[in-house]
Structure formats: structure tokens, C-alpha cells
Chain A
Amino acid sequence: AQSVTQLDSHVSVSEGTPVLLRCNYSSSYSPSLFWYVQHPNKGLQLLLKYTSAATLVKGINGFEAEFKKSETSFHLTKPSAHMSDAAEYFCVVSRDNAGNMLTFGGGTRLMVKP
């Protein structure tokens, strides 16, 4: 079975400071991992995905995530937060090798203070 845990339900940062959103997963095989973002009243948008290629994955809007098998982690980072980054972020693991039937973490709401 696959599961994903987002360690913080809320994260608050000041504009211009680094962002760290934590995610740990469990999977019975080499997983495919994703980060999605959901802005208020908008659909889910893919930020980035890991599919067993490079362990450091770069996504859109300056976000990146590093797959660490030894720590079963896939934390999302950004060097400098922008006000437009305020949203809910979901760490996701696929239920099979093809990336089908996603299992979502509980979400982390990112707040960015001016």
C-alpha cells in the first residue's frame, strides 16, 4: 500500500524567505511522486514530478523537490517566496508504477506574509 504524510498542515513565511514543505511517503515499490498546487477556487496544477530519473526535480515557478530514498522524503522547496505562492500544496504518490490512481497527502496551506 502507498501512503503520503505531509508533516505540516500550515506553513507561514515572509515574502522573500525560503519555503520548505515537508512530505514523507511509504510505498511497496519505487514510487512516482508529485507535488500539486491548488490556488483558491482553482483546479489542481502540477508543480513537478519524480519518476526515478534525477533525484532533484525542478518544477514550475522556481519550486524544486529532492527525492531521498533513505529518508523516504520528497520535500518541496523554493529559495524565495512570493505573495502569489500562497496556496494549498499536495504531495502525491501513485498507486502503481504508471502514475495512475493517485494517493494524496493531507495538504499544506502556505501563507506568505508581506
Chain B
Amino acid sequence: GAGVSQSPSNKVTEKGKDVELRCDPISGHTALYWYRQSLGQGLEFLIYFQGNSAPDKSGLPSDRFSAERTGGSVSTLTIQRTQQEDSAVYLCASSSRTGTTDTQYFGPGTRLTVL
């Protein structure tokens, strides 16, 4: 079946502009995660959605970052007033319960470059 998809695959923007990154999780998965992969910082958790519960935003680096998940499916990560340090690959994952532990399936990522 279809995996996690993300769009765009690449995004180049100018410093100070806003960007939106989209994630389509695997159908039926109740949990959705955003991570960031950057040089020097490795892979960092950003935000987690589970069903209709309030999201866990503990990983968001600043208030310029926000995310929403509409209808329990598609999610959009928004970065306002982008800075050069926001340049990274943004990864989305969704999960289904396998035994007693969720297995997260990752999308191919969106490579964001802030000039």
C-alpha cells in the first residue's frame, strides 16, 4: 500500500518568508510525527499528534514553528519568518500499533533551504 508522502520534496525560500510543508500519513494511522534532520543537530523530534488529543509540541524550537492536523489525517508544518538555521530535511512519520509498541513509518522528507 501507499506509504507516507510529503510535499514538496524540495523547497527553497528567502529568509523571512513563511513556508508550509505537507504530510499525508498512511491511511488509518492514528499517530503522526514531525522530525527535523539537520547537519550538526542530527534528527530531532518536533511535534506529535495522536488521534483527537492535543498535540505534544515539546520539540518545537520556537514559536515560529506550528503544525496542525486536519480531520485526523493530513498535517501541515508551518514555519514563519524563516531563518537560515531552519534549513534542514523535515521528516514526517505515522504509526500503527504493532504488538504493544508503535512502529513509525517515515516519509521521504522535505528538504528546506533558506537563503
Chain A interface (Cβ < 8 Å from any Cβ of B): 32, 36, 42-46, 49, 51, 53, 90, 94-95, 98-107
Contacts and interface: CB of A to CB of B under 8 A. Distances in A.
Contact of A98 (B91, B101, B107): B101
B18 interface: no
Q: Secondary structure of the A side of the interface?
A: loop
Interface of B: 3-4, 31, 33, 35, 42-45, 48, 50, 56, 58-59, 91, 93, 95, 99-109
Contacts of A42: 108
Given A43-B91, A43-B109, A100-B31, A95 B104 contact: no
B106 A94 contact: no
B103 A103 contact: no
Contact of B48 (A43, A100, A103): A100
A9 to B, nearest CB: 11
